[in-house]
Structure 1
Amino acid sequence: MSGKNSSKSVFREYFEAIVIAVLLALFIRTFVVQAFKIPSGSMLPTLQIGDHLLVNKFIYGIKVPFSGKMIVPFKKISRGDVVVFRFPKDRSVDYIKRVIGTPGDTVEIKNKQVFVNGEPIDDPHAHISSSAILDKKVSPRDNFGPILVPEDRIFVMGDNRDNSYDSRFWGFVDQKDVLGKAFILYWSWDIKEPLFSFDRFASIRWGRIANLID
């Protein structure tokens, strides 16, 4: 009898440990940190295809899960932050871009140069791959605005300016849809190579692992 009770006790301990571990993992993913993989080149050269990074989900504050409503704010989203957010056109998809304009800012682009509140910004992360200048009537890529960023919204752009689908094309991001700030790379390799292959292993970018995201 005691042996049967002992077996039940051990089973219960394992079950409780698993439940606690799952709840803890869900809590961490919801409120603390979340992993994210870079699937495109819109943030080159800052972030490469195949980079795996961690997103700090509590740096801006504590939100109500699913609704995105801020209940305990910590700090404001700042220009230059690299943020992960729900894509406004399809909120089931997560995007990553750099914040260019915050509420109250006036954003304008003239011949690829970004201006905020009438002043050209220091833009060290911007990568320009094409010398061609597109007219505003053709595309908003190189000439855009001016446009005022509304309250509770942000204007974002990819660092790979000539190859990024961002606020120039689809508008502002609601701050409640911002999941967090990207802060560190924990893994990086070439995802075009077959998984479980020597080429995939050989493509590991050891020098990028543990790099902070600026």
Structure 2
Amino acid sequence: MRVLLAICLTLVSTLVFAVDDGAKLQPGNLFPKVKLETSMGDIVVELDRIKAPITSNNFLLYVDKRSYEDTIFHRVIKDFVVQGGGYDKEFNTKPVMKTIFNESGNGNKNEIYTLAMARENDPHSAGRQFFFNMNDNPSLDPGRKWGYAVFGRVVNGMEVLDKIAAVETHVDPTWGWPDVPKEPVILKKATLLPQEF
């Protein structure tokens, strides 16, 4: 019985650590900033831990593990979204550490230059992929159905995003995916910036 209890406690503590790992980064900072170094320039985003703590901490977990390095922006639709974080340059799927609760009802809107989580049909299927809104996209906000959780906004590098959103895209000949940049746009590095006091 004691062995079983010890195993259960170990599993629970491991799960709690995995879930809270991003929360351990700058824990007193409600609006941490992350610099995204892309092949087309740098973008700085400010996360919103007040309205989207689960989503922000999840994003920070991938940043801390350097898991976004050398990924691509695989879906670019002018005046709609720039999406990335899920695939490497060879279109191999990057591992998802966990899926998270959908915080789309937090009051943040899918407005231009905001940062939101991508997901599948299951409203709570977001893992690592994110997107930038390149327009005001009220159709992505919650209503009678779950929306897409906005957890940050761009504070520097809007012109870089505009350049990315304007790249030429096609249907990828290998995978058959639409809206893939003809010339890969790479997220080279993501770094949590020092906390401002």
TM-score for both structures, normalised by structure 2? 0.32
- Pick the structure with more strand per residue: 1
Higher relative contact order (CA 8 A, sep 6+): 2
TM-score for both structures, normalised by structure 1? 0.30
Larger Rg: 1
